[in-house]
Amino acid sequence: MRRVLNTESFDVMVIGGGPSGLFTSSLLSQNGIKTVLIEKDSEIGKDVVCSGVISKEAFSRYDLPENAIVGTLKDAELHSPGGIQIPYSHPQETVVVVDRHKFDGELGKSAVQNGTHIMLSSRVSSLSVKENFVEAEVKTPDGLKIINSKMAVIATGVSFNLQASLGMGRPKKIIKGIQVEVQADDVNKLKVYWGNKVSNGYFGWAIPLHDGRTRIGVMTDGNAQEGLNHILKDVGQYTNICNDIGRIKRRGISFGTIDKSYSDRIVAVGEAAGLVKTTTGGGIYYGLISAEIASNVIQEAFQKDDFSSRFLSKYEKLWKNELGNEIKLGKYFHKFYSKLNDNSIDTLFDAAKKDGLLSFISEQGKFDWHKNAVLKILKSPNLRKALLWESINNAREKIAL
Ligand SMILES: Cc1cc2nc3c(=O)[nH]c(=O)nc-3n(C[C@H](O)[C@H](O)[C@H](O)COP(=O)(O)OP(=O)(O)OC[C@H]3O[C@@H](n4cnc5c(N)ncnc54)[C@H](O)[C@@H]3O)c2cc1C
């Protein structure tokens, strides 16, 4: 027979202490809702695998910890598989890089100041919806605990067992992510790499930080280690990076949303709902946006005393209004991009130069909102023409064989 230590009750339990869960619990506590946040790790932000790139837009929309900023990105160098390099800079927008340990830790401090009770080293192993409450079984260092609350927020990141057990589904695909931090002498701008040697379907990066370190990583459907080695070699041609290579870390990235981000007495926020940019894999800002929307809807649910799936569907409607088209178009773009071979990607780079795509993107593009840039790329006349020629040539070669 299982031994249960004791049962505690709250208004809301938030499961997962990443940015999405911490921000949701902070906003709820600030508004007088008795909230517990349950995190499986022993420390907030410990061992997070993330490049930490966030737009200034996120910092101006929300009160985020500026003391976690460890890098500033203004200029970039875009690398095609065939060696075409395009310099890129955005006249106004600045993007920053944060230390996630510090960033998440500071969000945690604000949540506690606002009244959130945080349980660390505590993993929710199951979640069930009863008639008037939600019940979680929590494995703690002292043994099994039962936590009850009127509502639960699932903020578990790229971990979908709880959502699946409640019929909310999982994303259709998880992309492989890999990253390492190296000491690199003179990487002074962001480098982004495309092509099959680096990534199958996505891209790789080298992100300089203020203190001379560089984050090198890849997101891919293919062999992540090979992609990483390719970038390490490229960066190593220009700079001394071999003396201090950190631990290589891996983590999945959700691609596409789960079937349903709400159920009776439950909502899922951030990456736990698949709310990640389908173009770049960035999930911090979309997670914060969903946290804000969720906390508003949950407060309304308490005012109306209505925790039904019908009422909570409002949450999904609201995040879809803001993020839905971006996520959909990014998926569409990925479908198109993943069919391109290295020659076609070079063609895309050429077209970017000829059709003024880059000046369009640097004038009108936004770091977090890619819909207009994606449409512009897909409509590029030179790109269409070149890709058509290439598919004709490929077909000719196949026939000749
Ligand atoms: C290599 C790589 C680079 C990336 N770079 C960027 C970037 O530059 N910019 C960006 O915006 N995004 C980036 N991302 C994505 C970003 O890291 C995530 O989208 C973001 O962390 C999601 O935040 P979250 O709060 O939703 O989930 P998470 O930050 O994943 O937090 C979830 C928390 O839930 C806890 N948890 C899970 N299951 C349980 C359970 N059963 N019980 C209790 N606790 C649980 C976990 O321990 C974790 O602390 C990157 C991802 C990868 C892999």
Mean pLDDT of 172-189: 90
Distance CA 27, CA 22 (A): 9
Arithmetic mean of pLDDT, 300-329: 97
Residue 227's CB: how many other CB atoms inside 10 A?
27
For ligand 1, the distance from its centroid to the CA atom of residue 158, given in whole angstroms, is 6
Is there a shared CATH topology between the 4-50+100-172+256-324 domain and the 69-98+173-253 domain? no
Residue 333 has a pLDDT of 84
- For the segment 125-143, the average pLDDT, to the nearest whole number, is 96
Mean pLDDT of 253-271: 98
Residue 237, number of CB atoms within 10 A of its CB: 7
What spacing in Å lies between the alpha carbon of 363 and ligand 1's midpoint?
A: 31
Q: Taking 80 as the threshold, does the pLDDT of residue 240 lie above it? A: no
Q: Report CA-CA distances (Å) from 44 to 21, 118, 353.
A: 11, 10, 44
Q: Which atom belonging to ligand 1 lies closest to the Cα atom of 252?
A: 53
Query: Does the pLDDT of residue 97 top 70, yes or no?
Result: yes
* Range with top average pLDDT, 142-146, 293-297, 365-369: 293-297
Q: Check residue 91 and give its pLDDT.
A: 67
User: From the CA of 101, how far away is ligand 1's center (Å)?
Assistant: 12
Instruction: Report the nearest atom of ligand 1 relative to the CA of 207.
Output: 8
SS3 state at 332: helix
Element spanning 196, H or E: none
Q: What is the pLDDT of residue 364?
A: 57
Tell me if residue 62 falls in helix, strand or coil: coil
Mutation pick for ligand 1 pocket among 24, 40, 137 (CB with most ligand atoms within 8 Å): 40
DSSP secondary structure string for all residues of 268-300: E-GGGGT-S-TTT---HHHHHHHHHHHHHHHHH
Over range 160-178, report the average pLDDT. 97
Task: Convert 278-296 to b/e letters by CB count within 10 Å (16 or more is b).
Answer: bbbbbbbbbbbbbbbbbbb
Evaluate if residue 389 carries a pLDDT over 90. no
DSSP H/E element including 143: strand 143-154
Model pLDDT for residues 334-384, shown as the tens digit of each residue: 888 888 889 888 887 887 777 666 665 655 556 666 666 666 666 666 666
Q: Give the residue-averaged pLDDT of 238-261.
A: 85
Q: Report domain extents, the chain.
A: 4-50+100-172+256-324, 69-98+173-253, 340-400
Residues with CB under 6 A from ligand 1: 15-21, 38-41, 49-54, 123-124, 155-159, 177, 179, 217, 251, 253, 270-272, 276, 281-285, 287
How much is the mean pLDDT over the chain? 89
Distance 321 CA to ligand 1 centre (A): 23
The share of the chain scoring above pLDDT 90, in percent, equals 68
- Quick one: average pLDDT of 282-301? 98
Q: Which atom of ligand 1 is nearest to the CA of 123?
A: 42
Please compute the mean of the pLDDT values over residues 61-70 and round it to a whole number: 97
Strand partners, 94: none
Say whether pLDDT at 44 is over 70: yes
What's the CA gap between 135 and 259, in Å, rounded?
22
pLDDT band at 137; cut points 50, 70, 90: very high
Confidence of residue 399 (pLDDT cuts 50, 70, 90): low
| Residue 36 pLDDT exceeds 70 | yes
CA dihedral 170, 171, 176, 179 (to 10 degrees): -90
45 alpha carbon to ligand 1 midpoint, in Å?
9
Provide the CATH topology of domain 4-50+100-172+256-324.
Answer: FAD/NAD(P)-binding domain (3.50.50)
Cβ distance 38 to 121 under 8 Å? Answer: no
Instruction: Write the residue with the smallest CA distance to atom 33 of ligand 1.
Output: 16
Q: Which atom of ligand 1 is nearest to the CA of 122?
A: 43
Q: Inter-axis angle of helices 371-379 and 325-337, to 10 degrees?
A: 40
Atom of ligand 1 nearest to the CA of 125: 41
Residue 32 CA, ligand 1 centroid: distance in Å: 27
What spacing in Å lies between the alpha carbon of 397 and ligand 1's midpoint? Answer: 45
Average pLDDT over residues 224-229: 95
Segment among 125-134, 257-266, 348-357 with least mean pLDDT: 348-357
- Band the pLDDT of 177: cuts 50, 70, 90: very high
Average of pLDDT values for 158-163?
A: 98
Tell me, in angstroms, the distance from the centre of ligand 1 to residue 159's CA.
9
**Which has more pLDDT, 385 or 58?**
58
**For residues 23 and 155, what is the distance between their CA atoms, to the nearest angstrom?**
10
Q: What is the pTM of this model?
A: 0.92
Q: What is the mean pLDDT of residues 212-222?
A: 95
Find the mean pLDDT for residues 57-73: 95
Max mean pLDDT range (211-220, 231-240, 289-298): 289-298
User: Which range scores top for mean pLDDT: 119-133, 184-198, 323-337, 382-396?
Assistant: 119-133
User: Regarding the domain with residue range 69-98+173-253, which homologous superfamily does it belong to in the CATH classification?
Assistant: D-Amino Acid Oxidase, subunit A, domain 2 (3.30.9.10)
Q: Of ligand 1's atoms, which has the minimum distance to the CA of residue 253? A: 53
pLDDT at 306 over 60: yes
